[in-house]
Amino acid sequence: MSLAIINGDIFGRKEKEIYIEGNRIKKVGQIESLISKNTVVIDAEEKTVIPGFFDSHTHFADMGINRENDVSECKSIEDVLKKIEKKKLNVVHGWDESLFREKRYILKKDLDIFDFPVIAFRVCGHLATLNSAAIEVIDLKELDPKFYVLEKGIFKEDTLSKISKIYPKTIENYVRGIKNATELAYSLGVTSIVDTVTPTIFRAYERIENDGKLGIRAHLYMKAKYINNIMNSGLSRIGSEKLKFNGVKIFTDGSLGAKTAALSFNYKGTDQNGILIYKDEELMELIKKIDKNELQAMIHCIGDRAIEQVLDCLENIPRKMRHKIEHVEITNEKIRERIRKLKIPCSLQPNFLKWSENMYVERLGDKAVLNNRYKKMIEKGIKMGFGSDCMPFSPLFGIKCAVNDPYGESISIEDAIKFYTVGSAYLAYRENDLGSIEKGKLADIVVLSENIFSEIEKIKVEKTIFDGKIVL
């Protein structure tokens, strides 16, 4: 099968045409002689044509399942309660108190109107609220008391993985979730993702790929708690064009929303400054083990104290692999210079800028200006890629945030698109196959509804091509 795009404003190119044969780009520009009666021709009508978006940080499989019980659009606690009541939901995901009229967390007393167990996960995934019926089901002896406040029903961080076992998800659940998420991805122009997985999610991806039905390029990182499973199974950086196992996900702190991201200063109005999950020597040994096995470490670090800890470790480890750090939200000049000097690539979430004038200010006060300083990182020449963390899963929303920074640090739309394409491809060792429109690269391409220099709010995804096939 062959496919041609003509009259396109091709991102990063002067040419106007692309010829695709099979699942790869055969030629860019001067393609007239290659077009036959069997070629499918798309007239882009001078609209912008870009590489397929590569989301460098998702919870893709979980997102696909959680769409069925998502409350991220709710504007009040009452709205959340109504949705739980209407569908008799035991688990909901995605509430964000910064959107609520009440401007507070959901509490146990709110959920105690239900006589059945209810677990309500905050949008960050680092905090959940349980009602009394749910608390009765869990074994509190298994949980670290420093991570929950029983009278409020609030549970954080490591307690959540144990709580989630109340309603375990099967391989079949995740197969359905991945397929649901893939449909959403096409509508948003996303053709490649990074997903953090458990062994169950990993097997779900394998099953779909083995059936020849995987419709996304998935780059998987197993959670560090499964490090012994990884080493014992001999998993290495292997895979197909669509499915790759890349490495290990490490959490070194929590989130700003849950007040568990590790800061060098206290959260506004509190005596808390977050948590470091590992001692220095523990983190060092874990990264060494990952590097020795030629896997890539994907290291979550949000607060400046956590980022400094990670940089201290990476500075003192001989590295074979291109380890990357995730989020990197609270930085200063010293931290950014260290990242540059150590040549550490960063996966960043521009959609988090939506919280700059509410949640960040509420958590950080006048220190909120330290958050997500992309322009300063660009000036340092730091390698960067963009992802969403599924908050929300939408590259165009993230790009809109990046080019409209409320603190006067907006970046160009060209840079924003690069970070959501070739930048993210680099982070996952896929820059030779993905991220730009060039001869020989995989044919994952998006046609936008407008030229990129139009008003950003108007731009939508008009057509998505994945693996040389039109999927939207």
- Tens-digit pLDDT profile for residues 92-106: 999 999 999 999 999
Please compute the mean of the pLDDT values over residues 232-253 and round it to a whole number.
Answer: 89
Task: State pLDDT tens for residues 294-330.
Answer: 999 999 999 999 999 999 999 999 999 999 999 999 9
Task: State pLDDT tens for residues 253-271.
Answer: 999 999 999 999 999 999 9
Residues 375, 407 contacting (CB under 8 angstroms)? no
Rounded distance, CA 402 to CA 444, Å? 23
Task: State pLDDT tens for residues 164-186.
Answer: 888 888 999 999 999 999 999 99
pLDDT band at 454; cut points 50, 70, 90:
confident
Q: What is the pLDDT of residue 165?
A: 83
pLDDT band at 115; cut points 50, 70, 90:
very high
pLDDT band at 229; cut points 50, 70, 90:
confident
Query: pLDDT at residue 236 above 90?
Result: no
pLDDT band at 390; cut points 50, 70, 90:
very high
| Residue partners of 52: CB distance under 8 A and separation at least 6 | 189, 190, 191, 192, 421, 434, 444, 445, 446, 464, 465, 466
Q: What is the pLDDT of residue 326?
A: 98
Which residue is listed with tokens 């958050």?
Answer: 371
| Residue partners of 167: CB distance under 8 A and separation at least 6 | 90, 91, 119
What backbone torsions phi and psi does residue 460 show, to the nearest 5 degrees? Answer: -130, 170
- Sheet harboring 445-448: ordered strands across? 9-10, 48-51, 445-448, 461-466, 469-470
Rounded distance, CA 95 to CA 102, Å? 12
Query: pLDDT at residue 3 above 90?
Result: yes
pLDDT band at 211; cut points 50, 70, 90:
very high
Question: pLDDT above 90 covers what percent of the chain?
Answer: 88
Rounded distance, CA 358 to CA 355, Å? 5
Q: What is the pLDDT of residue 162?
A: 86
Residues 395, 53 contacting (CB under 8 angstroms)? yes
Residue by residue, DSSP assigns 385-400 as EE--TTTT--HHHHHH
Q: Where are the beta strands (DSSP E) in 163-231?
A: 190-197, 217-223
Task: State pLDDT tens for residues 435-452.
Answer: 999 999 999 999 999 998
| Side chain identity, residue 110 | D
- How far, in Å, are 149, 260, 300 from residue 146 at the CA level? 8, 11, 21
Residues in the chain, total: 472
Q: What is the pLDDT of residue 239?
A: 87
Buried b (16+ CB within 10 A) or exposed e, 133-156: ebbeebeeeebeeebbeeeebbbb
Rounded distance, CA 25 to CA 373, Å? 35
CA–CA–CA angle 301, 303, 309 (5° rounding): 60
pLDDT band at 1; cut points 50, 70, 90:
confident
Rounded distance, CA 10 to CA 217, Å? 22
Task: State pLDDT tens for residues 129-147.
Answer: 999 999 999 989 889 898 8
Of residues 284 and 230, more confidence is placed in 284
Task: State pLDDT tens for residues 343-388.
Answer: 999 999 999 999 988 899 999 999 999 999 999 999 999 999 999 9
Instruction: With both helix axes pointing from N to C terminus, report the angle between 199-210 and 171-187 in degrees, rounded to the nearest 10.
Output: 70
Query: pLDDT at residue 243 above 90?
Result: yes
Rounded distance, CA 101 to CA 359, Å? 13
Mean residue pLDDT across the chain: 95
Rounded distance, CA 92 to CA 223, Å? 22
Buried b (16+ CB within 10 A) or exposed e, 166-200: eeebebebbbbbbbbbbeebbebbbbbbbbbbbee
Q: What is the pLDDT of residue 453?
A: 83
The neighbour count for residue 52, using CB atoms within 10 Å, is 29
Q: What is the pLDDT of residue 377?
A: 97
Q: What is the pLDDT of residue 182?
A: 98
